[in-house]
Structure 1
Amino acid sequence: MHSELVDLASKIKKQFEGESTGHDWYHIDRVRKLALTIQKNEGGNALIVEAAALLHDVSDHKFNGGDFLKGGEVAKLILENIDINEEFKQQIVDIVNKVSFKGSGEKDEMKSLEGKIVQDADRIDALGAIGIARTFAYGGSIGQMIYDPEILPQKNQDVEQYINERTHTINHFYEKLLLLEGRMHTSTGKEIARKRTDFMKTFLNQFYEEWKDDV
């Protein structure tokens, strides 16, 4: 870890320890490690990547009333106390503001390589076995049913639909998770996402088999 970020990591760990929706410190630390792994292969500034990964969930829109820019505002305040040059700080704030998935019908706004790396890392942690666990943890936290076969997934959701339309957790696989492999920016991210997405498809097949047997 960059020496400038040791205190930041400690602060973020303290803030997110015990969080129960899948957006806990361990998620943040996994994203940090994944992002640095991708950065080693793809290039970019490692300090910006690591700081943005640590701060990417500092005020997530899912928990702050739907404000996608609040995270950047909070990140900017935190960065005031860290010895990083101002240009880097602005790049980090921009990444935090743009990292979130905003709906299957919305285009990604991320421009910088560092931002694309952090976004890939965050999305990778939404996939695979951990991604499945996080998905159901979050779904339960907001009162979503596990599954209702009569409620079909929505396609090409805009940001308002993505935020406000509540269905069931299995739909989230089709409205977001299974789409992420195709929205990876980096070659490294695509390779990791492919394996994890295949595992999720296997899980869904097993889920439907067990659901069919239960009715």
Structure 2
Amino acid sequence: MTDALIVNETAEFVRNELFAESSGHDWWHAHRVRELALALGRKEGADLHITELAALLHDISDYKLNGGDHEKGPQIAFEWLVSIGEDEVRAAAVSEIIATISFKGAGTPTPMGTIEGKVVQDADRLDALGAIGIGRTFAYGGYVGQMMHDPDLQPRFHATHEDYLNRKGTVINHFSEKLLLLKERMNTKTARVVADRRHLVLERFLHEFFLEWDAGDVGEV
């Protein structure tokens, strides 16, 4: 099977698996990450075939949604690719990116060893910022039953991945605990420029949210 057919088959597989997902980790998230990763990969000189496959498959079984199994997603990706004729070395490269892509807490670094991994990780994190990132954050919060906001519950900056996994927070606290940290965790120069703009969108949203929460906008009338 040609590289193009492998990509097309994989896109169809991911679309069928994730299209109805309501947590913000759906087919359209995978599609946006694919487009972002390819754009970054072209600028950074990445292998675009591995980049595209890893971007498409990065959430095929996200540990946050499958009961905490970190190995399931990488395994599914590897087995799928080999089953449709992908070279095992390239399938393993894709699987490795998926195994190490996720944010694991404020105090837990998640370094990527390849430029392909770096651009896919950047693309995934860019999709957690900006207007779309805000929408996805509230979708995920509703999916897992989080409160929107509790002024008495302060953000926690999780020192370990285990602490992050066991978190019980609010949607608004997630901005401080993860989203506002992502700008400084981008791997590539291009992603950092895009992240700066999307980060400002988050800050403007939070300013407006807290203004409205305390009825501060009434005083401005």
Cα distance in 2, alignment partners of residues 95 and 170 from structure 1:
29
Percent of aligned pairs with the same residue?
46
Secondary structure of the structure 2 residue equivalent to 1:80: helix
| Structure 2 letter corresponding to 1:110 | M
Q: Which is further off, 170-179 or 84-93?
A: 84-93
1:94 aligns with 96
Query: Which segments of 5 or more consecutive residues in structure 1 lack a partner in the other structure?
Result: none
The two structures, once aligned, show a CA RMSD in angstroms of: 1.4
In 1, are the aligned partners of 2:6 and 2:86 still within 8 Å (CA)?
yes
Deviation at 1:156, TM superposition (A): 4.0
**Which of 202, 205, 209 pairs up with 2:211?**
209
In 1, are the aligned partners of 2:37 and 2:55 still within 8 Å (CA)?
yes
Correspondence list, 1:51-62, <5 A: 51-62=53-64
1:175 aligns with 177
Cα distance in 1, alignment partners of residues 78 and 88 from structure 2:
10
Query: Which segments of 5 or more consecutive residues in structure 2 lack a partner in the other structure?
Result: none
Correspondence list, 1:103-118, <5 A: 103-118=105-120
In 1, are the aligned partners of 2:149 and 2:172 still within 8 Å (CA)?
yes
Give the TM-score of the pair, scaled to structure 2: 0.94
Q: Does 1:195 align with 2:197?
A: yes
Cα distance in 2, alignment partners of residues 130 and 157 from structure 1:
27
Consecutive aligned runs of 4 or more in structure 1 exceeding 3 Å deviation: none
| Structure 2 letter corresponding to 1:106 | T
Deviation at 1:80, TM superposition (A): 1.3
In 1, are the aligned partners of 2:146 and 2:171 still within 8 Å (CA)?
yes
Cα distance in 1, alignment partners of residues 75 and 6 from structure 2:
20
1:37 aligns with 39
Please identify the structure whose Cα radius of gyration is greater: 2
Cα deviation code 1:59-100 (max 9, x no counterpart) = 100111112222111111111123332221111010010111
Deviation at 1:4, TM superposition (A): 2.3
Give the TM-score of the pair, scaled to structure 1: 0.96
Deviation at 1:155, TM superposition (A): 1.8
